[in-house]
Homo-oligomer: A and B are copies of this chain.
Amino acid sequence: MKIVGTVAAMRGVSAGARRDGKRIGFVPTMGALHAGHCSLLRIARQAADFVAASIFVNPAQFGPDEDYTRYPSDAARDLALCRGEGVDCLFMPAVAEMYAPDRSVAVEETALSAGLCGAFRPGHFRGVLTVVAKLFNIVQPDVAVFGQKDAQQARLVQRMVRDLDFPVRVVIAPTVREPDGLAMSSRNAYLGPAERKRAACLSRSLRLAAKLHAAGERDTAAILGRMRESIAKGEPPVTIEYVAAVDWETLAPVARVERPTLFALAVRVGPARLIDNALVGGVTPEGRPPCRPTIPCHGDTTED
C-alpha cells in the first residue's frame, strides 16, 4: 500500500493507475475507521481495479462548537485496516496541503442541504462538498463509495456530481450495524457503556417505522409520532434533534409514503450527536430497510 501526503504525489499515483488501464475506486474518510468503512472499501474493490482511500479530518465541515479538535483518531489501526482491505493507495494530506490560508472558493448546495442535518449544522455541507470536490479532482476516481448512514451527505454528493458533471459514479452502500442495531460510526467512541445501550434507540425507532409501513401505515406524521414515543422511552431521556420523513430524491418532507422515503433522525446521547436513517417504501440498489450485519474487518482484532 502506497501512503502519500501531497496532492502532487496522489495525482501521480492516480495517473499511473490510469495509464495501466485501471479503473479507480475511491473511499474518502475522516479516519477512525470501523467495519462500515471496511464495507465501503470492499464495494470499491468490487467496482474498480485500483482502490484509493483518503484519511482527512476536514476542518471546513465542522462548526465552531463541534468536535473537530477531539474527533477520534487511531492512525496505526487505520493503516492496518486499509492494508487488510487491500487498499492500493492511502492519501493522508495535512490541512495545509489541502487549504491555502486565503482560500475563497467553495461548493454550495441550496436545496437538498436545507433540511435534516443541514438545518442544524450551518456550513457543514458546504465544507463536505468542497472537500469532496477537491478529493475528486485530486484522486480522479471512476467510482466513489459513500455510506448510507450519512444519507444526506451521500445524496448531496450525487447531486453535486450531477450538477457539476464530475466524471465519477457515486455508489451509496448499506449501513453496517452493531449486533443491537446501532449504526457503525466513529463517533460511537464518545459513548460510555450506559449511553452505548441507550444509543440503540435510533435504529429501534427506524425498525418501528419500517414495521408500521409494512403493516400499511402511510401517514408520515403517525409514523414519526410513534418513532418519537419509542425514543422518549429511554431513561435518562436522550435529546432528539430531528426525526423526519423526506423524499429520497429531493430530501423534502413528505406527508405520505408514496415514493421511496427516507426516515432520518439525529439524537444527542450524552456527548455524542448520532444520526441514522432507513429508506422505506421502495427498494433501490442504494437503500434497504435497516439490517444488522456486522462485517468483521481484515486486520481488525478489536470490537468497537
Interface check A163, CB cutoff 8 A:
yes
Complex interface: chain B residues within 8 A of A164 (CB): 105, 107, 130, 133-134, 137
- Measured CB to CB, the nearest residue on chain B to A112 is B104
How far, in Å, is A152 (CB) from chain B's closest CB?
A: 13
| Residue of B100, B104, B159 touching A110 (CB-CB under 8 A) | B104
A104-B100 in contact (CB<8A): no
A129-B105 in contact (CB<8A): yes
A160-B105 in contact (CB<8A): yes
How far, in Å, is A142 (CB) from chain B's closest CB?
A: 11
Interface check A9, CB cutoff 8 A:
no
How far, in Å, is A252 (CB) from chain B's closest CB?
A: 11
- Measured CB to CB, the nearest residue on chain B to A139 is B165
Identify the interface centre among A102, A164, A250: most chain B CB within 10 Å of its CB: A164
Chain A 239-281 interface mask (CB, 8 Å, partner B; 1/0) = 0000000000010000000000000000000000000000000
Interface check A111, CB cutoff 8 A:
yes
Majority DSSP secondary structure for residues of A touching B: mixed
Interface check A103, CB cutoff 8 A:
yes
B137-A167 in contact (CB<8A): yes
Interface check A178, CB cutoff 8 A:
no
Q: Give the residues from 59 to 118 in chain A that come closer than 8 angstroms, CB to CB, to chain B.
A: 100, 102-112
B104-A163 in contact (CB<8A): yes
Chain A 1-24 interface mask (CB, 8 Å, partner B; 1/0) = 000000100010000000000000
**CA of A111 to CA of B102, assembled, Å:** 9
**CA of A105 to CA of B163, assembled, Å:** 6
**CA of A129 to CA of B7, assembled, Å:** 22
- Measured CB to CB, the nearest residue on chain B to A99 is B163
Interface check A140, CB cutoff 8 A:
yes
Complex interface: chain B residues within 8 A of A250 (CB): 102
**CA of A163 to CA of B105, assembled, Å:** 6
Interface check A138, CB cutoff 8 A:
yes
Identify the interface centre among A105, A133, A163: most chain B CB within 10 Å of its CB: A105
Chain A 152-172 interface mask (CB, 8 Å, partner B; 1/0) = 000000011011111100000
B100-A162 in contact (CB<8A): yes
A106-B108 in contact (CB<8A): yes
Please name 5 pairs of A and B residues whose Cβ atoms are closer than 8 Å in the assembled complex, sorted by A.
A104-B163, A105-B109, A108-B108, A130-B164, A137-B164
Known pairs A7-B165, A105-B162; list 9 more (Cβ under 8 Å): A11-B167, A102-B111, A104-B109, A104-B112, A105-B108, A105-B159, A105-B160, A106-B108, A107-B108
